[in-house]
Amino acid sequence: MDSIQSFATVPPDWRQMEWTHTTALETHLLSRRAVRTEILLGDYGRLWQRKAQPKGPLAVFGYDYFVEHAKAASVATPRLLSYEGLWGSGEEYAYEVLNFANGKRNTQEIRDAVSMEYGPVPVEIVLEYLQALEKIGVVERMK
């Protein structure tokens, strides 16, 4: 809100919304630290790491790396790319899922982080997208 206020008037109720959202995120993050998701079984508990190449976002200036490489690898379009959330759509979710695949988060943690930004998304859809990214060589499962 402070950055917006430097060039526009911020309605008073926006401050309350900012505070409410920030408090909810902090509460969620603190509770997640206490109950780690390592107890999850199968693919939901696996850590994901983005590979060094390709760098940057997968969709830029009308070119979509995922679409091009998925065709070549006969990978079906993951449901995440057409998902409509509360505050975002497929492209935003996909962009952040890839950003959160840093080798330190598992599928559930990636889903939780993306859900905090754009609204709830089913973990199965996030897993499906990560598996598709793995098939085209963008991410890998950590051992």
* pLDDT digit string, tens, across residues 9-41: 777 776 677 767 777 766 666 555 444 444 545
Count other C-beta atoms under 10 Å from residue 65's C-beta: 15
Q: Which residue is listed with tokens 């070549």?
A: 72
Q: What is the pLDDT of residue 125?
A: 95
Beta bridge mates, 106 = 47
What percent of the chain is modeled with pLDDT above 70? Answer: 79
* pLDDT digit string, tens, across residues 95-130: 999 999 999 999 999 999 999 999 999 999 999 999
Residues 40, 41, 43, 46, CA torsion sign: positive
pTM: 0.70
Terminal-residue alpha carbon distance, the chain:
41
Q: What is the pLDDT of residue 28?
A: 64
Task: Tell me if 107 sits within 8 A of 41, measured CB to CB.
Answer: no
Q: What are phi and psi of 21, to 5 degrees?
A: -65, -45
* pLDDT digit string, tens, across residues 43-73: 678 899 999 999 988 888 888 898 889 988 8
Structure tokens at 121: 């998304």
